[in-house]
């Protein structure tokens, strides 16, 4: 009699992940490691590491039952964390913009070196030939060696100045050069924060450090636990993330704690990277090229060029090309100002307001809208008192604060639950272990997913 056909070969990490994904596909609700062992047919020592890798790669959340059992919940569509819609289209548009900006920069250099010189000479011609004549004394002076050397130095200095001015023009039109972002900067900051907190952090502390909304913190905290071998513990009803593996260090000095988010407000968008006087000069030069090209046909070339019969190429080069360039330069600058800088400044103003409100919350202070508006007065997109109150109310619901209507017609907030969360983390850091959870009915007492069970004081309040 033939025995059962049971797989005995070692599976690769990719094969294990594929089997786990197949077991979870179409499954809604939380799942445990044991559920995946049964559904996939994999061994527990294969499911554990494979599940942690999937928590890092796919959008997911963690929950803890009263008896300490971890529950995992994945997006039903199994969406990857790095999923970006319209990636190909965005890459194509970015490449097209890069090619256009390169061509326009070459044209900018041509305009600065050629058209401005031509238009200045033509202006001198209009003023009269006497403006272009030199006296015999001036010609003889140029024959002296030291004067020639000085003239050469002046020419070199003018050339270098033209190059610098051309770079300023590029920045005026297309913005200052963008530094390549460090994709691991936020990760290093988070890990430094974890180590400075002795390997014990709470969801609320992550919010205070990053300024992220609770929904993002839910996703990122799950990823951190899975990626760095963390654990979820409960101390006095507060969820704690512990990372013992990150505490081993050969450095004797204690890790410096990064500043909280309210100490790192974002600055407005630097539209050009130039000082104001340079931007004004560039705008005037561009306007001069535009006006000079428009009047050139009428004032200087009226009797010399007939575009339809004589020399149309000269007409296109001296009239139409500079007009097209100058108009395009102003249009690009205006579009960047209204479609890129203004919306981004609005987003930064909102993030700064949230950070200032988090400062008040983590110091358990009531919100004073007028004072916060004053702190953001120098931002291009100032906030109003009504906007401050509206965001404060939204954040109070998100963080589980107590909201009390006042006799003055305003809402007043108490953020005591944030202090309780920090106190629980302090107790855990002092060396006391989290309390032992009693066995019983599998009741969810903490979840990084707001849809699971009762929310803790760190998560969104149920209303």
Residue 43: give its domain's CATH number.
1.10.10.10
Helix (H) or strand (E) holding 88: helix 87-110
Q: How many CB atoms lie within 10 A of CB 251?
A: 7
**Which of the listed residues 316, 338, 360 is the one where a domain comes to its end?**
338
Of 268, 301, 317, the last residue of a domain is 268
Sheet holding 70-74, edge to edge: 70-74, 60-65, 444-447
Mean pLDDT, the chain, integer: 78
CA dist 16 and 39 (Å) reads 12
Tell me how far apart the alpha carbons of residues 329 and 258 are, in angstroms, rounded to a whole number: 42
The proportion of the chain whose per-residue pLDDT surpasses 90, expressed as a percent, equals: 18
C-beta separation of 297 from 315 below 8 A:
yes
* Alpha-carbon gap, residue 69 to 53, rounded angstroms: 19
Position 202 in a domain: yes
Shared domain check, 197 and 59: no
Residue 99 sits in the same domain as residue 166: yes
pLDDT at 40: 83
52 assigned to some structural domain: yes
Which string of DSSP letters, residue by residue, matches 39-59?
Answer: HH---HHHHHHHHHHHHHHB-
Q: From residue 334, how far is each of 91, 177, 271 by CA, in Å?
A: 24, 18, 10
Asked whether residue 425 is domain-assigned, the answer is no
Say whether 400 sits in a helix, a strand or coil: coil
pLDDT of 406 reads 83
DSSP 3-state of 177: coil
Residue 437 lies in a domain: no
Residue that has been written with the tokens 């944030």 in this structure: 418
Asked if 189 and 264 sit in the same domain, the reply is: yes
In a domain, 386, yes or no: yes
Query: What is the token pair recorded at 179?
Result: 């530094």
DSSP 101-159: HHHHHHHHHHIIIIIHHHHHHHHHHHH-GGGG---HHHHHHTTSHHHHHHHHHHHHHHH
Per-residue confidence (pLDDT) for residue 37, from 0 to 100: 86
Considering the domain boundaries, does residue 322 fall inside one? yes
**Same domain? 259 vs 245:** yes
Same-domain check for residues 169 and 276: yes
Cα 381 from Cα 372, distance rounded (Å): 13
Q: In this predicted structure, what is the pLDDT of residue 415?
A: 92
Can you tell me the distance from the alpha carbon of 446 to that of 444, in angstroms, rounded to the nearest whole number? 6
Domain count, the chain: 4
* 67 and 112 belong to one structural domain: no
pLDDT at 330: 92
Same domain, 325 and 200: no
Q: Find out whether 204 and 214 touch, Cβ atoms under 8 Å.
A: no
118 and 132 assigned to the same domain: yes
SS3 for 183-204 is: CCHHHHHHHHHHHHCCCEECHH
Question: Is there a domain that residue 421 lies in?
Answer: no
Residues 129 and 240 in one domain: no
Instruction: Give the span between the Cα atoms of 29 and 18, in whole angstroms.
Output: 20
The answer to whether residues 413 and 366 touch, using CB atoms and an 8 Å cutoff, is yes
> Are the CB atoms for 217 and 206 separated by under 8 Å?
yes
Q: Give yes or no for a contact between 42 and 20, defined as CB atoms under 8 angstroms apart.
A: yes
Q: So what's the pLDDT on residue 59?
A: 86
Residues 175 and 195 in one domain: no
Residues 277 and 263 in one domain: no
Instruction: Write down the pLDDT at residue 454.
Output: 43
In terms of Cα–Cα distance, which of 186, 236, 146 is closest to 433? 236
State residue 67's pLDDT score: 72
Residue 434 lies in a domain: no
Please report which residue ranges of 258-368 form alpha helices under DSSP H: 276-299, 312-315, 321-335, 342-362
Counting as low any pLDDT under 70, the low residues of the chain are 1-9, 115-162, 250-255, 296-317, 381-382, 431-463
Predicted local confidence at residue 300, as pLDDT: 52
Identify the domain containing residue 152 by its residue range.
Answer: 93-180+272-338
Note whether 277 and 139 are same-domain residues: yes
């Amino acid at each position: 009699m033939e025995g059962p056909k049971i797989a005995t070969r070692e599976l690769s990490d990719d094969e294990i992940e594929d089997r786990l994904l197949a077991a979870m596909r179409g499954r809604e609700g939380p799942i445990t490691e044991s559920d995946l062992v049964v559904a996939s047919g994999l061994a527990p020592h294969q499911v554990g590491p494979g599940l942690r890798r999937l928590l890092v790669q796919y959008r997911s959340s963690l929950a803890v039952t009263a008896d300490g059992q971890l529950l995992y919940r994945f997006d039903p569509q199994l969406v990857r964390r790095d999923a970006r819609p319209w990636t190909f289209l965005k890459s194509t548009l970015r490449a097209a913009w890069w090619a256009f900006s390169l061509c326009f920069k070459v044209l900018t250099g041509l305009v600065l070196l050629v058209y401005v010189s031509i238009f200045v000479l033509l202006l001198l011609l209009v003023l009269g030939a006497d403006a272009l004549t030199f006296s015999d004394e001036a010609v003889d002076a140029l024959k002296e060696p030291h004067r020639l050397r000085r003239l050469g130095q002046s020419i070199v200095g003018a050339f270098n100045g033209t190059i610098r001015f051309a770079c300023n023009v590029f920045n005026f039109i297309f913005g200052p050069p963008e530094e390549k972002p460090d994709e691991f900067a936020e990760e290093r900051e988070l890990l430094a924060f974890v180590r400075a907190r002795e390997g014990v952090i709470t969801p609320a502390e992550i919010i205070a450090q990053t300024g992220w909304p609770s929904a993002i913190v839910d996703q990122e905290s799950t990823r951190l636990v899975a990626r760095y071998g963390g654990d979820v513990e409960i101390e006095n009803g507060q969820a704690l993330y512990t990372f013992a593996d990150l505490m081993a260090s050969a450095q004797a000095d204690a890790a410096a704690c990064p500043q909280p988010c309210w100490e790192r407000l974002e600055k407005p968008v630097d539209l050009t990277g130039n000082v104001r006087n340079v931007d004004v000069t560039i705008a005037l030069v561009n306007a001069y090229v535009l006006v000079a090209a428009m009047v050139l046909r009428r004032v200087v070339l009226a009797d010399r060029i007939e575009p339809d019969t004589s020399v149309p190429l000269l007409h296109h080069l001296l009239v139409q090309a500079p007009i097209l360039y100058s108009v395009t330069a102003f249009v690009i600058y205006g579009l960047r100002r209204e479609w890129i800088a203004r919306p981004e400044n609005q987003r930064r103003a909102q993030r700064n307001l949230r950070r200032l409100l988090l400062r008040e919350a983590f110091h358990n202070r009531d919100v004073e809208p007028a004072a916060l508006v004053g702190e953001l007065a120098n931002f291009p997109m100032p906030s109003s008192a009504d906007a401050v109150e509206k965001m404060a109310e939204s954040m109070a619901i998100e963080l589980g604060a107590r909201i009390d209507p006042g006799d003055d017609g305003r809402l007043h907030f108490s953020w005591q639950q944030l202090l309780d969360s920090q106190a629980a983390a302090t107790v855990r850091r002092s060396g006391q272990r989290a309390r032992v959870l009693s066995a019983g009915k599998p009741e969810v007492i903490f979840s990084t997913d707001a849809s699971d069970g009762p929310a803790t004081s760190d998560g969104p309040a149920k209303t």
